[in-house]
Structure 1
Amino acid sequence: MWSRPFLMSATVTVDTVTEGGTVSRAYGWTDKNDATVEDEATVIRMMATTLLEGGSLRGLVEHLKSEGISTVSGKTWQPITIKRALTNPRMIGKKKVGDNLVDAGIPAILQTRTYNRLCKLLLDPERAKFTGGRTQIALLGGGIARCGGCGRALYSSASAGRAAVYTCSTRSGECPATVSVQAELLDADVTERVLARLSSPKFRAALTKSINELGSRDAVVARIEDLRSRYTALGEDFADGLIERETLRAGTDKVRTNIAATELKMKQQEVLAELPEPDPSAIVEWWEQAGPRQHRDVVSILLDHVTVKPTDRRGPGGLDDERIVYVWKK
């Protein structure tokens, strides 16, 4: 997929403000915005083509890194940086004024049709605009938030005129307590704690070291396949009378645990590749630009579950820390 013209060491920037108040040039254009920088424009078109042909942002980052193509400030390209660059209307010589795109007086690098396809692929604004509450992605869905009364999952529920809440999924009368908490408050508390962890160089270094011990993605996939083969072999040995039921149960439990742990590390590897360096402002900026599914992916690789205990207090109010118990993944 990659061709040799992209081996140049392209030093590029995004718009930043210098100490003197001068705005540095945007990637792909001269400092006066009156012409394109052809080498950089070529890289932009390569990025667009790669993604539209089924390539991934993560794979694109790895390619740019391997070829020594970095930003003007010398930083490594990140998925969010590529996404923002390719969906910026300056790619078609436009700028956004209110809800409209108007001519920016700069030369275009991408064709309008290509730009629109990229926006649909990377942002999908129309789909997001018409997504109803039933299909929205809850930050703590899927069992991450749990009821302190019965231990079962909390689910996100919203009704007209009322704030969304996480409430117990157990049928009425089967849970010894009625657990409910405002989703906005719990989501905000979880987000603050997750971003604090991601912004910690010490935590990120330890997590990265743990993940890297597994080796390449191919090696991880091979390990998972090997574990699944062992799982199947245990069943066959039991069917052939080679092992007892207790041995089968102990063996399958251990294999399942190892598979789950390895799959978690692989998921962590994939998600971490999308994140910027552990700088608080960069992490917050990434989070604000990312979508609900990315938020959920990040939370799911760090947080095993959060339990919400029952309370006798009624009515609006802040989140009581004593109600919330966090269990983080190792």
Structure 2
Amino acid sequence: MPDKPQVRCAIYCRISLARLGDTVKVDEQELVCRRLAQARNWSVDPAHVYVDNSVSAWRHTVRRKGWEAMLEAIRRGEIDAIVVYHGDRLIRQPWDLEVLLRLAQAGTLLASPTGERDLGNPEDQFVLRIEAAVAKREVDNTSRRMKAKFDRLAEQGISRLGGRGGRAYGFEPDGLTVREADKAIIREVAGRVLAGEPMGAIVRHLNARGITTVTGGAWDHANMRKVLTKPRMAGLLVHRGEIVGDAAWPAILDRETWHAVCDVLSRKASTFSHATNARTHLLSGIPLCGPCGRPLAPRQNARGKHLLGYGCITPGCRKTHRAMHHLDAYVIGATLALLNDENVRKRLQPTTKDTAPLTAELNKLSQRREQVIAEFGDDDEMGADVLRLSVRRIDKRIGELRAEIDAAQAPALLTGLWDIDRAGWDVLDLHRRRAAIGTLLRITVWPSRKRGPGFDPSTVKLEPV
């Protein structure tokens, strides 16, 4: 009598959520399954051990790579049996069971510590369908209870953290307490984005400093943009995809700054595949034209295409143009002088000042400005005069508040640049040099009355910020 062929066994292990990529739970499942296969004298090929770690099975939109690879092996006829720790590790939805039953050959076995089923036997199929329906009902009930729980939390201004790092970036695991180290990074990055640094350069700098995400991974465009644009950063509560009000936790970014960062990133993301605002020239958009007040842009000199400079491109003005190599050198010298000035360094030491009260006042003034415009008509001369005076007074205070907020957030951009020399300056990335200049100086360029080559420093006004 010929020997009975040995059963070729596959092992499938899964856990829905593994914190920080932990594999302990699936390793324990595999150990139990191997003992079960050994007790049945089934062979286990290492190629047929399938694992889906930290992967849910109840959403059909979520891909389970281990599950899909196992189905493909069944389709090729390489597997006679499947061993799992429990049936719900393999199947949580009826449609998964139907896919498995269609692929399984007559005599294909499904084993777990609770028993054994033949996937080709109609009676066993009937029992498995009942168990799958019960599992689906359990999932639905759990989902309903969780939704009700989140509704109650939302009424208290609290939301679930989500994510796989055990906490939201910027906060402790309780979701309510700000983690100060993360807070400093978020504010630094927000300031650098608003100062014109490209996101790619920012995340490279963070990674080089050893700063990681909550899961210990590296930063990239996508995960940093996701963190910065979360309403949570501004102390806002999101429930079922909508901002529903103030949250129970404190804001890390004031709402004015948060909205500004979101605006920058959304505008750049609509133009580029990643959110970026990279420049190619040192002073592009930083100096202002004296006559019109608009930023200068790279322009060719009329005397030759090789004479690149910064010029006004505003229609009706176009009065200002300065050779790029002259203006760059002049501004670099002034910047290095400020970076080596101890008094400037003391004045711009990083601050822990909370800008939330300033932002609150700013928001109230902005609303007040709209109310004033709505209340005062311009039907008569007196009404127009009152309107202009009121709006001018409000605009002045708004400008002061914005300057104060910027001053509180800007010093982080200069970290590591104090006492730098020209050699150190020249090896910095362009974005860091631009950020330093924009933080330290307000540059205004006026038309020159002199003709011919050379540089007239009297036409360039440099004001320390």
The TM-score normalised by the length of structure 1 is: 0.49
In terms of Rg, which structure is larger?
Answer: 2
The TM-score normalised by the length of structure 2 is: 0.37
